[in-house]
Structure 1
Amino acid sequence: MPPGGGRITVELAKKDPHHPTGNRCTGERFEKSLDVTLNSVVFRSVGQDLTTVGTSIEMTSRILEPALLALTVLAVRGRVKR
C-alpha cells in the first residue's frame, strides 16, 4: 500500500485468450499429453531435456528397476533358505 493510503492500479499487457482453430487432436499433442501425464503420475522426471530415445530409455529403466530388484530379493531369499 502506498504511504497514507490510496489506490494501486495494475495494468497487464496481455492479450485476451482465444480458442485455437484447426485440428486440435493431433499426434504431436497426444504424445505431449501422454508424456506430461506419465511424468507427473507414474514417473518422476529428471528435469533435463532428453531426446525421444533418452526419454524412452528412462521410462523403460524406471519400469524394469523395481522388477529386477524384486528378482534379486527372491534369488537371495532362495539361497538363504537352503
Structure 2
Amino acid sequence: MTIQEELEKLIKDEVLLEIEDYIDELFEIIASKKEDENTKEELIQMQEMKKDFEEMLTDLQNGEIDDEECKEIIDEINEMRREDLED
C-alpha cells in the first residue's frame, strides 16, 4: 500500500467517520435546545474540517499530494487524535 493509499484509507475509514459522528452529536445538542454559543461555532468548524478532508481526498485521488506531504498529514492527523484522547 502506498502512503497515498494509506492516507486515503485513514481519511475515509476513520477521520471522516469520526467527524460525521461528532457533527451528528452537535446537531442533537442543538435540536434538544441545550446548545450554547460554543456549540454552534464548533459545528461550523467541524463542517469546515469535513469539507477540507473531502477536498484532500480529491487531491489524493488526482495525484496532487506527494509522499512527503502525505506523511506530514498522517502525522498531523495522529497528533490531533492523540490530543483529543487526552482531553
Give the structure-2-normalised TM-score. 0.30
Report the structure, 1 or 2, having the larger helix content.
2
Structure of higher RCO (CA pairs closer than 8 Å, 6+ residues apart): 2
Give the structure-1-normalised TM-score. 0.31
